[in-house]
Amino acid sequence: MRSAPTILHLDMDAFFAAVEQASKPSLRGKPVVVGGLGPRGVVATASYEARVHGVHSAMAMAHARRLCPNAAYLIPRFGLYRQVSDVVMGLLGELSPLVEPLSLDEAFVDLEAGGIGDDPRGVAEKLRADIKAATGLTASVGLAASKLIAKIASEEAKPDGLVVVEPGTERELLDPMPVRTLPGVGPATAEHLRRAGIGTIVEVRHMGEAELVRLLGKAHGASLHAMASGLDDRPVVAERESKSISVEDTFDVDLTDRIRVRTELDRLADRCVKRLRDAGRSGRTVVIKVRRYDFSTLTRSETLQGPTDDPVVVRETAGRLIEAVDTTGGVRLLGVGVAGLADFTQEDLFAQAAGSALADEPADGAEPVVVREEPAAPARRWMPGQDVRHTEYGAGWVQGSGVGRVTVRFEEPASLVPGRVRTFAVEDPELEPSDPLPLV
């Protein structure tokens, strides 16, 4: 363990929603929810004004609307989020060569490797001020001697705060916290511990490593006891490009029911897509991992026509893959991943087919006759939060649309007051989609 709190964990506050509020003056200080707006959509991020109503990430969007009907519900704009993330990561790169991004809005930094470990608190305060000046957004920071404690400290610092945990004081922070605070403690492990009378981290530590190993297995039990003691020697690893994003779960009791296997696979697919979207990525290849009752492990994969971050597509593809796997003996572990990552999503995998060539069978020796159908021009679709530009009114964003009309608020990030609202026909030739304006 280090002798100074030189590992920094930064987490931008309600990042996607905060970017939307910064770019849309009319939404500042108001509840904002970003995510999928379809019938199966889920919340990606909710502003703190929405969180007080119980809205949180990974919640079904339909449930969020019932909890907070007056919020602004917007589609995500990953291109803009990545631009802002690049600015933040650039500032972190000025502090140290060892920056480990976890997503668009979260990263570890090794200050010691940057030669600036003498005043970590001062460095963190300046970093937060620099991020605010460069993006207009707030960030929470944790400082500690390990990655584990730094991440927990940044969570305690939210929103817009700084928590420093001096080496030797880790247990004071950890002891009263619930066991779910520790990485790797999901609902199943937490329930296992609850049945053993364990609810807080101090109780985990007092239980002892041997008893935890007996209860949870060697690897998980030993790891949990070390974390509950505040021990973590993982280094900060410099940025490297992710080749895939995946999630997996090990089950306390082998799954033998096919319906339960499919239900768990659907749940894992949704979690995987959330991580994919949090990273602003999409992917072409869906992969499942199955560890059976006899510890044999196999993977199956299917490559799609184009990148996707649609949970329905990932669920259905994973479902097809599991159908080819014999699970009658029982399943110990399931995993779902997406590989072949890209920075964009092909929204409709079948759109390419709309104008594809249709060929009749040629006569012997004749050239094939290709007939191309001109597809009818689709009706223009405007989504809440989408950037637009009007030839007369300038830049704005879609507030809503329906029954042949689209309502647009015309304002820019630098505006001090909310912009004016205008309504147009959805086919108005003077209204066009546009790229987002920079925040500052």
Catalytic residues: 106
- The position carrying tokens 């991580």 is 275
- Cα–Cα distances in angstroms (integers) from residue 397 to residues 20, 25, 109, 410, in the given order: 11, 11, 36, 7
Q: What is the CA radius of gyration of the chain?
A: 25
What angle do the packed helices 218-228 and 209-216 form, to 10 degrees? Answer: 140
- The position carrying tokens 């499942």 is 288
Q: How far is CA 9 from the centre of its chain?
A: 17
Q: What does the buried/exposed string (b/e) look like for 191-212 if buried means 16 or more CB atoms within 10 Å of the residue's CB?
A: ebbeeeebebbbebbebebeeb
Q: Which amino acid is at 214?
A: R
SS3 (DSSP) at 153: helix
- The Cα 175–Cα 409 span in angstroms is 49
- The position carrying tokens 């390990």 is 146
Q: Can you read off the two tokens belonging to residue 156?
A: 């305690």
